[in-house]
Each structure stands twice: as C-alpha cells, then as structure tokens.
C-alpha cells in the first residue's frame, strides 16, 4: 500500500512552527533582540572597560538580523506561492 503524500479527503496538517503566526511572532521577538543588541553595543562602546566585549552584542545583532531576514524571505515565498495557486 503506497503512502499518499497529498490526501484527497483531508487537508494536510501544518506543524505549528510553519504557521504564519509563529513566523510573525519570531520576527517581532527577533526585532526586540536586535534592539537589545544595539543597546548593548552602545553601552559597550561608551565604557572603556567594556570595549573589548563589543563582539558579544555584535554577534547577537548579526544572528538576530539573519533570522529576521530568513524568516521574512520564507513568509514572502509562502505568500507568493499561495497567490500563484
């Protein structure tokens, strides 16, 4: 008996982590992390003792920006794919 990947009688279940609401929540959370990292960079640059540790919020900034970009691209692809159908 073969497994039908696209059943006719029911809609396929989308995992919660692929839901649009989860993507939007992730983008909002990562924007907060991005702002936190910007604040961390500003504070680290202001105090002489912390200048050696600017790399910590900088890494946080880069990682959160990467997640924001990839998640936004996924949402755009999903929206454009739905409009084609």
Q: What is the pLDDT of residue 28?
A: 98
Spell out the per-residue pLDDT of the chain, length 85, in tens: 455 566 666 677 778 778 889 999 999 999 999 999 999 999 999 999 999 999 999 999 999 999 999 999 999 998 887 766 5
Q: What is the pLDDT of residue 5?
A: 65
Q: What is the pLDDT of residue 81?
A: 77
Domain boundaries of the chain, sorted by first residue: 29-84
CA–CA dist 3, 67 (Å, integer):
34
Are 32 and 67 in contact by the 8 Å Cβ rule? The answer is no
> Residue 39's closest CA among 14, 23, 56, 26?
56
Q: What is the pLDDT of residue 61?
A: 98
CA angle (72 as vertex; 61, 15 as ends), nearest 5: 110
**Structure pTM?**
0.76
CA angle (33 as vertex; 27, 38 as ends), nearest 5: 125
Q: What is the pLDDT of residue 33?
A: 98
């Amino acid at each position: 008996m073969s497994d039908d990947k696209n059943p006719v009688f029911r809609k396929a279940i989308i995992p919660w982590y692929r839901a649009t609401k989860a993507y939007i929540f992730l983008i909002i959370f990562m924007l907060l992390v991005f702002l936190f990292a910007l604040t961390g960079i500003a504070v680290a640059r202001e105090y002489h003792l912390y200048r050696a540790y600017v790399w910590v919020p900088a890494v946080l900034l880069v990682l959160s920006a990467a997640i924001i970009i990839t998640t936004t691209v996924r949402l755009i692809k999903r929206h454009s794919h739905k409009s084609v159908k």
